Structure 1
C-alpha cells in the first residue's frame, strides 16, 4: 500500500505532466530556422610561364555558412529570410569582402503567386552561368567565370565596376527582387538594385529581368541586365541565354553572354560555353569548353577546355578532380583570362597559356 507521501508525489507529477502537455498544445507555432553550409577546398597545380601550387577554397561550391528560415503566416503566405556568409576555407577570410557577402535578404513568399525579397541578392546572371554550366561560375576548371574582363567588367564573377559594386551584377546590393511561381513551367522575375550614390538618386542602378522555362528534360533561361552609374557615365548592358537538356543519365549544357559596353571605350565582349556530363552510380564525369572574346578597342580571346570527375562518398561528401587547358590570345589591351585572378608571373608576353590540375573535397551540411 502506498504511503500518503507516495500518493502526493504521484499526484504532483501527474498534474505537472498535464500542465506541460496543455502548454505545448496552446503555445505559438514554431519558427523553424535551418543552419546549413558547405566546406569545399582543393589543391591546384598550374603550369604557365611559371608553376604554381596552392590550396584554394570553393571548387564544386563556394564554402559558406548559412541561416535560412520561414514562418507560416496562413493562407499559403510565408515570411522568409536568408543570411549566408562566404568563407575562404584556405585562410579563413570573408569570401566576398562582406560578412554576409553571399546573400542577405528578407521577404514574403506565396505558394501560388511567387515571392518578393529585399537585400543583397543574386542577379539573373548568377543562376544562368551556374545552373547551366558543368563547372558553374567557380574558381577552377573551364568555368563560366572565364567570361568577362571587357573594359574591366565582370558579368559572371561579379565586379566592383558596377552600379551597386561589391559583386554586381552577379550579386546586387540594396536590391528588390520579385519572382513568380511556376505557371506551366514558366517563371518570370525582375530585380532592381538601388545605387544609393550621393548626388544620383535616379540613374545609378542595376535593372535585371529574366524568364526561365523548366519542363521535363528541358531547362532554359534568358536574361537582360542594364547596369548604370550616372556619376561616372558608366553604362553596360548584357543579354544572355542558356539551356540544359537531359536524356537518361546524360545532360547537355550551354550558354551565351553578350556584353554591350555603352561607355566611350566601347569595350564589348562575348562569351560562350558548351558541355555535358554523365552519371553512373556515385560517379560523375563531365567536360566543358568556354570562350571569352573581347572586341573593338580591346581584342583577343581566351579558350578553356577541361574535363572533370566526381565521386560521391555519401549524399553530402564528394571528392573531385579536373584537368583544364587555358589558351590565351589576348593583346596588350586585353588581360589574359583564368577562372580566378591571375597571380603575378603565371603568364607573360611570351607564355600566355595555362594548364591546370585540381584535386579537392566538398562536404555539405
Structure 2
C-alpha cells in the first residue's frame, strides 16, 4: 500500500511538473480614436469625421501557447483575431484568424512555424526600421505596409535561426486556393538581419505569384539606430511587377496609402483597378525621441513613386506623419496624430483630390 501511494505521489508530482512547463497566455490591444480627414468623400471639399477601431494599433485579441518539451525544444502556437473596437465586429473578414500557426523551436536548429502568419517583409519592417519606436506603425495611416505584399500569407512555412546578432528567415507558401487577395498566393522569400549595439540593418526579398503564374517581386533594405531616448530609422523598398500580373492585386498593393491606386480621371482610365504599375518604389526616414518617462514624440516621412504600364499611370506621393504619445502606465497611453499626403503626376485620390490631411486623437490599452 505504501509503495502504491509512493508511485501515485511520484506520478502526480511528474504531472504537475509537466503542466508547469506549458503556458497559455491571452493578450490583446484595445485602441479607439476619433479621426478627422480632409478631401475624403465624393468630392474634394468633403470632410470625414469618424470613430476608428484602431488608431495607432489595430485592436486585437490573441492566444499564445508555449510548451517546454525538454532538451531545449518548445512547441509554439499563436491564434490572433482582429476586432474593430468602434463596432465590436471582427476586422478583416472572411479571415477571422489574422494569425493561426503552430511551430517547434529548438536551441539547436532554430524555429519552424506552419500556418497563416506575418511574412518576412513585415518582419523586416517591424523588427528593424519601424516608423515609431513605441508603436511600429500607425494603423490608420501606414504607407510602408503598402509595399509588403499584404503583410501576411496563408499556407506558409517559415524558418528562423539566430546566431548572436545575425538572424536568418526563410518563407515559402504553396499557393493552394490562390485568389486575387493579397494574403494568398505562392510565395518564396528570405530575410537577413544583423544587429550590434545600437545599430540594426536588414535586407529582404519576397516573390508572390498570382493564379496565372505572373509575379511581383518585393525587396527592401532598412536600418534602425537607438541611442538612449533617441531612435532613428531609414528604409528603401521596391515592388517589381510582371506585365499581366493580376490587375486587382496590382492596383491594391499600395492600398495602405491609396493615392497610387487611383487615377486622376477614373472614368477615362477605367477605375482604380486600371492603374497598373511596372514598379513602385518607396523611401522613408524618421525618428522618435522620448522626452520624459511619459512623453514620446515621433515623426516619419515617406516618398513613393510609381512607374505605370502607361505614362498616364505614372505618379508620386510625399507623405508625412507626426505623433505625440503620453503613457499613463506601461499598458495605457493616449496619442495625438497628424498626417498629410501630397500626390504629384498623373495620379490622385479617387475623388480627384491631390492632397489629404488627417488629425487623430485616441486611447490605447495593452494587456
> Normalising by the residue count of structure 1, what TM-score does the alignment of the two structures yield?
0.79
| SS of aligned partner of 2:124 | helix
1:289 matched residue in structure 2: 301
| SS of aligned partner of 2:13 | helix
| SS of aligned partner of 1:139 | coil
Q: Is the 8 A contact 1:233 1:263 kept in 2?
A: no
Task: Pick one of 275, 278, 288 that aligns with 2:289.
Answer: 278
Q: Is the 8 A contact 2:131 2:137 kept in 1?
A: no
Distance 1:24 1:335, change over 3 A: farther
Task: After TM superposition, give the deviation of residue 99 of structure 1 in Å.
Answer: 4.9
Task: After TM superposition, give the deviation of residue 114 of structure 1 in Å.
Answer: 1.3
Partners of 2:81 and 2:111 lie apart in 1 by 22
Distance 1:45 1:355, change over 3 A: same
More helix by share: 2
Aligned pairs for 1:127-206 (under 5 A) are 127-131=123-127, 132-135=129-132, 136-141=136-141, 143-145=142-144, 148=146, 155-156=147-148, 158=150, 170-180=151-161, 182-197=162-177, 205-206=186-187
| SS of aligned partner of 2:121 | helix
| SS of aligned partner of 2:308 | coil
| SS of aligned partner of 2:74 | strand
For residues 333-353 of structure 1, the C-alpha deviation after alignment (integer angstroms, 9 at most, x for no partner) is x453xxxxxxxxxx632x321
1:166 matched residue in structure 2: none
Partners of 1:138 and 1:324 lie apart in 2 by 10
Q: Is the 8 A contact 1:137 1:144 kept in 2?
A: no
Aligned pairs for 1:106-145 (under 5 A) are 106-131=102-127, 132-135=129-132, 136-141=136-141, 143-145=142-144
Aligned pairs for 1:319-358 (under 5 A) are 319-331=334-346, 334=347, 336=349, 348-349=351-352, 351-358=353-360
Identify which range, 238-247 or 94-103, moves more after superposition. Answer: 94-103
2:32 matched residue in structure 1: 41
Total equivalences in the alignment: 310
Partners of 2:277 and 2:296 lie apart in 1 by 41
Partners of 1:157 and 1:358 lie apart in 2 by 27
Task: After TM superposition, give the deviation of residue 22 of structure 1 in Å.
Answer: 6.5
Q: Is the 8 A contact 1:269 1:295 kept in 2?
A: yes
Task: After TM superposition, give the deviation of residue 57 of structure 1 in Å.
Answer: 2.0
Task: Pick one of 74, 78, 89 that aligns with 2:85.
Answer: 89
Q: Is the 8 A contact 2:131 2:300 kept in 1?
A: yes
Partners of 1:44 and 1:96 lie apart in 2 by 20
Q: Which entry has the higher C-alpha Rg, 1 or 2?
A: 1
Distance 1:85 1:134, change over 3 A: same
For residues 294-341 of structure 1, the C-alpha deviation after alignment (integer angstroms, 9 at most, x for no partner) is 11322111111121100110010000111111112252xx453xxxxx
Q: Which runs of 5+ in 1 are unaligned?
A: 1-17, 149-154, 159-169, 199-203, 337-346
> Normalising by the residue count of structure 2, what TM-score does the alignment of the two structures yield?
0.78
Task: Pick one of 186, 196, 209 that aligns with 1:228.
Answer: 209
Distance 1:108 1:356, change over 3 A: same
